Structure formats: C-alpha cells, structure tokens
Amino acid sequence: MQTAPHPVAIHMQPHDGKESGAPPYPYARAVAGPQPQDYVLWSLFSFSFLNACCLGFAALVFSIKSRDRKVVGDPEGAATYGRTSKCLNIAALIVSIIIFIILIVILATSAAVFRAQFQEMMKNHQ
C-alpha cells in the first residue's frame, strides 16, 4: 500500500534575512529624512502635451532615473536627477507657452490679413 507524500508548505513571503543577519535586500536601505522628488507625473504630462523640442521626453527619462536612484537607495543621485527633471519640465512648459503664443499671433494676423483681402475683393467686385 502506498502512502501519500506529506504536503510541503511553501512560504511565498520575501526572505527578510533576520535569521542570517544579512540585510534584507541590497537595495533596501533605510534613508532618514524626506525622499527627493522625482516629478514623474509632471514629466508624463510634459511628454504627452508639451513635448516642445523633446524636452518632455528628456524630463521623463530623468524622472525615471531619479525614481530608480530612489529605489536603489541613493538619495543624492535621486535628488540630482530630480532637479534636472524639474528644470527640463520648466523649460518644456516655457517653450510650449511661447510656441502657443506665437501660433495665436500668427493665426490672428493671418485672419486679419485674410479679412482685409476679402473686403478689398468684395469692394472691387461691386
């Protein structure tokens, strides 16, 4: 007669390293103080809507690098990449606003010129 094998319990929790005295993960270091900003949401917005001269894309890349540095436990690197991302987001916003204003001015002047030409044409036609 065959007996059924004993069930094996598998614990799906991550190893915390307390038994061996090792740190839980090589990248999980406790950092005291506030975490540096990575500006990922602002960068996604800049990339999606205000991607003038690809500044929004560059800001997104630096935001992701900042978040990676935060995960690794390098707050100085995360802060540096975060500041770069913030500057690129500001530059993307300013350049996009300038381009938007220039487009409005061009459309307004071309509409005024078209209106004047249309009135001149109607005056000559009568």
Taking only the tens place, the pLDDT of each residue in 15-27 is: 555 555 545 545 5
Angle at 100 between CA 96 and CA 102, to 5 degrees: 115
Distance CA 86, CA 92 (A): 10
Indicate whether 2 pLDDT > 80.
no
**Burial environment of residue 124 by CB neighbours within 10 A (0 to 12, 13 to 18, 19 or more):** exposed
Q: What is the predicted pLDDT for the residue at 11? A: 52
Cβ neighbours for 92, distance < 8 A, ≥ 6 positions apart: 46, 50, 51, 52, 53, 55, 56, 59
Mean of per-residue pLDDT scores for the chain: 83
Q: Domain extents for the chain?
A: 40-118
pLDDT tens string 26-77: 555 555 678 889 999 999 999 999 788 899 999 999 999 999 999 998 999 9
Residue 102 CA: distances (Å) to CA of 63, 88, 90, 106, 110: 29, 21, 18, 6, 12
Q: What is the predicted pLDDT for the residue at 14? A: 54
Which position has the token pair 């009568």? 126
